[in-house]
């Protein structure tokens, strides 16, 4: 499995990278760690004529906590997120998610930016980013814009990033003190991708849920925020009945994916089961 030939560009600045991407148009692809793009190129599902490697853009390797947000550069590896003290202190759900991706070798090389912009419907990051209400930053020659995670994932391998835009980072609002969060996934054994992954982020006042975010990946062609399930919890007492009612909603009206690993019916079952368990884990944790 050898990729088709391409021209290789290693820009020294984000401006130069954006200019190269504008020049290359739809035939150009941006590479961070390469762990989503290269497998596609080896299978010739992607045959870019130009690959723009961002590896010299050290400004995209940083994790910063400021102004109530955690900003993670596109080139930050899953391993760095997993082990970052800033992430573990401010938003442990992100570290938990990072540690569940692939395997140690993949986490050493794969990046948050590369994974998110690839838009794989079974990737882990979307669940956490949706549950946390994160934004992604997109940069082109024309400037930068932010897009909410809920508006970013549009379909299998399809995102709101335009062909001339580079995903430069994600920004996650730091959850208020006392927020409880967790990520549960049923993974495909060999690849580690999520057959179903559920991220839950909960705030409570006594027994009452004051706010909640539930992000779902793997279940459908597009990762999504389970708003109907959230509505069963928000403002209500977190009784076993309320948790069950929320879980029952998570796959309602969803066109569930079926493949050799799990039928749509089984995926829906796993989503309901793991939503209930994730809420309980968050409460117990």
Q: Is 7 in the site for another protein (CB under 8 A)?
A: yes
**Among the candidate windows 32-40, 117-125, 216-224, 239-247, which touches another protein by CB under 8 A?**
32-40
Give, for 115, the enclosing helix (H) or strand (E). Answer: helix 112-118
Among positions 18, 28, 51, 194, the unique one binding another protein when judged by CB under 8 A: 51
Of 36 and 90, which CB lies nearer to another protein in the complex structure?
Answer: 36
- Give, as ranges, the residues between 136 and 195 that touch another protein (CB under 8 A): 190-192
Total binding residues for another protein by CB under 8 A? 29
Q: Apex CA 100: angle with CA 97 and CA 103, to 5°?
A: 140
Phi-psi region of 45 (alpha: psi -120 to 50; beta: other; left: phi over 0): alpha
DSSP-derived secondary structure letter, 193 = -
Question: Residue 124: CB partners within 8 Å, gap ≥ 6?
Answer: 97, 100, 101, 115, 183, 185, 193, 194, 197, 217
To the nearest whole angstrom, how small is the minimum distance from the Cβ of residue 103 to another protein? Answer: 3
Residues ≥6 apart with Cβ < 8 Å to 213: 130, 131, 132, 133, 199, 200, 201, 225, 230
Cβ neighbors of 41 (< 8 A, separation 6 or more) are: 3, 4, 6, 47, 48
Q: Which of 16, 19, 23, 39: binder of another protein (CB under 8 A)?
A: 39
259 binds another protein (CB under 8 A): no
Among the listed residues 71, 79, 267, 272, the single contact to another protein using CB under 8 A: 79
Residue 69, interface with another protein (CB under 8 A)? no
Which of 79, 203 has the CB closer to another protein?
Answer: 79
Answer for which of 68, 104, 142, 156 binds another protein (CB under 8 A) is 104
| Contacting positions for another protein (CB under 8 A) | 1-8, 31, 34-35, 38-39, 41-42, 51, 53, 55, 79, 102-106, 108-109, 190-192
């Amino acid at each position: 499995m050898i990729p088709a030939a391409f021209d290789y560009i290693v820009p020294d600045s984000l401006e130069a990278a954006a200019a190269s991407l504008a020049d290359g148009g739809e035939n150009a692809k941006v590479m961070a760690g390469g762990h989503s793009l290269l497998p596609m190129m080896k299978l010739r599902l992607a045959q870019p004529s130009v690959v723009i490697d961002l590896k010299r853009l050290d400004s995209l390797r940083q994790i910063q906590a400021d102004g109530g947000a955690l900003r993670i550069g596109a080139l930050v590896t899953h391993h760095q997120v997993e082990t970052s003290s800033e992430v573990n202190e401010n938003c442990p759900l992100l570290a938990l998610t990072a540690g569940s991706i692939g395997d140690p070798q993949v986490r050493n090389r794969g990046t948050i930016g590369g994974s998110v912009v690839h838009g794989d419907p079974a990737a882990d990051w979307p669940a956490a980013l949706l549950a946390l209400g994160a934004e992604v930053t997109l940069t082109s020659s024309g400037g930068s814009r932010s897009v909410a995670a809920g508006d970013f994932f549009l379909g299998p391998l399809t995102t709101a990033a335009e062909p001339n835009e580079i995903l430069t980072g994600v920004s996650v609002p730091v959850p208020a003190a006392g927020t409880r969060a967790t990520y549960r996934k049923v993974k495909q054994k060999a690849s580690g991708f999520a057959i179903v992954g559920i991220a839950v982020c909960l705030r409570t006042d006594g027994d009452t849920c004051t706010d909640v975010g539930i992000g779902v990946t793997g279940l459908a062609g597009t990762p999504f925020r389970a708003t109907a399930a959230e509505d069963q919890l928000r403002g209500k007492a977190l009784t076993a009945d309320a948790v069950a009612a929320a879980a029952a909603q998570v796959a309602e009206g969803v066109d569930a994916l079926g493949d050799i690993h799990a039928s749509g019916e089984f995926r829906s079952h796993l989503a309901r089961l793991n939503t209930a368990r994730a809420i309980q884990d968050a409460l117990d944790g």
